[in-house]
């Protein structure tokens, strides 16, 4: 395995007396497609929040491209190249779709050293990204005019506008129909083919198995499995966590 893009060691997080995460260790290589699964309350979203700087982990370290992220705020991590999409889409409702993408282009890409984007370049990138997710025709529409699947696509496009090296997609397919899930899956694969490393947090097993090259399983805040999807799904502890004794 090449030098990891993301490296997590002994990560722990508590909420009062409740242990949300304990001793989490994982590594993600550049270009990899990793699935992160676990039952409700297993700590997946807490882990995402700790990785992205929304929550502070009490123990352990998170390294991105070898840089230790302790003390880095969420926006600094985005600027380093780590973007996320939210479980429930959180578009900027007062802005049209193009302007939604303008924010990361102005603040994440534009803030990187040596990068200066002109207004025309920003417009071009907004158009390109909206085209990539199939929302070109709605560039001047508002998020409230979108369907659920379009909202998810906007969420992914906005994360992509930050031009990340690592995209953490938190339940990007929740609540979608069969064909809509295929749409999002195809989109994620396309993004990966553009060189973006993707960590997919998902409950829909068909999607996770189709997408992931490697699977990590969390249960009760602990990592219980990490490996090839087919092997992980036959792991007795994973089977027990999902279907019981």
Q: Which residues of this chain interact with other proteins, rule CB under 8 A?
A: 52-54, 73-75, 78-79, 83-84, 86, 90-95, 99, 102-104, 106-111, 158-159, 161-162
- Whole-number Å distance between alpha carbons of 59 and 75: 21
10 Å CB burial of residue 43 (0-12, 13-18, 19+) is buried
Q: What is the C-alpha to C-alpha distance for residues 236 and 245, in angstroms, rounded to an integer?
A: 10
Cβ-based nearer residue to other proteins, 142 or 242: 142
The whole-angstrom separation of Cα 118 and Cα 19 is 47
- Nearest distance in Å: CB 133, other proteins: 16
Choose between 99 and 235: whose C-beta lies nearer to other proteins: 99
Cα Rg for the chain, rounded, in angstroms? 18
Q: How far is the CB of 181 from other proteins (least distance, A)?
A: 23
Q: How far is the CB of 131 from other proteins (least distance, A)?
A: 20
What is the C-alpha separation between 32 and 120, in angstroms, rounded? 33
Q: Indicate the burial class of 166 (C-beta count within 10 angstroms; 0-12, 13-18, 19 or more).
A: buried
Q: Based on CB atoms, which residue is closest to other proteins, 24 or 82?
A: 82
What are the distances in angstroms from CA 174 to CA 88, 140, 171?
Answer: 9, 26, 6
In sequence order, what are the residues at sequence separation of 6 or more whose Cβ sits closer than 8 angstroms to the Cβ of residue 59? 10, 11, 12
Least distance CB 30 / other proteins (angstroms)? 21
**φ, ψ at 139 (rounded to 5°):** -55, -35
Question: Please, which residue, 144 or 194, has the CB nearer to other proteins?
Answer: 144
CB 76 → other proteins: shortest distance, Å?
8
CB closer to other proteins out of 144 and 178: 144
Tokens of 99: 């302007």
Specify the residue, 30 or 91, whose C-beta has the smaller distance to other proteins.
Answer: 91
Half-sphere exposure of 133 (CA within 13 A, CB side): 27
Strands of 18-28's sheet in order across: 18-28, 6-15, 59-64, 67-68
Least separation, in Å, of the C-beta of 3 and other proteins? 25
Q: Minimum Å distance from CB 179 to other proteins?
A: 27
């Amino acid at each position: 395995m090449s030098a990891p893009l993301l490296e997590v060691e002994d990560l722990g997080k508590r909420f009062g007396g409740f242990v949300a995460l304990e001793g989490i260790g994982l590594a993600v290589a550049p270009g990899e497609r990793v699935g992160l699964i676990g039952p409700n309350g297993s700590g997946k979203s807490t882990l995402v929040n700790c990785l992205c700087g929304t929550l502070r982990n009490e123990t352990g370290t998170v390294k991105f491209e070898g840089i230790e992220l302790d003390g880095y705020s969420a926006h600094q991590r985005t600027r380093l190249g780590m973007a996320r999409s939210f479980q429930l889409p959180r578009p900027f409702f007062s802005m049209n779709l193009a302007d939604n993408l303008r924010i990361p282009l102005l603040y994440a890409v534009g803030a990187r050293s040596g990068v200066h984007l002109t207004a025309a370049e920003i417009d071009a990138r907004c158009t390109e990204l909206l085209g990539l997710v199939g929302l070109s025709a709605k560039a001047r529409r508002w998020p409230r005019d979108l369907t659920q699947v379009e909202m998810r696509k906007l969420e992914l496009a906005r994360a992509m506008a930050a031009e990340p090296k690592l995209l953490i997609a938190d339940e990007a397919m929740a609540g979608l129909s069969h064909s809509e899930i295929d749409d999002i899956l195809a989109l994620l694969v396309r993004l990966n083919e553009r060189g973006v490393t993707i960590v997919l947090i998902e409950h829909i097993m068909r999607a996770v198995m189709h997408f992931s090259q490697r699977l990590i399983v969390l249960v009760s805040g602990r990592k219980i499995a990490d490996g090839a999807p087919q092997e992980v799904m036959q792991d007795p502890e994973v089977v027990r966590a999902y279907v019981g004794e």
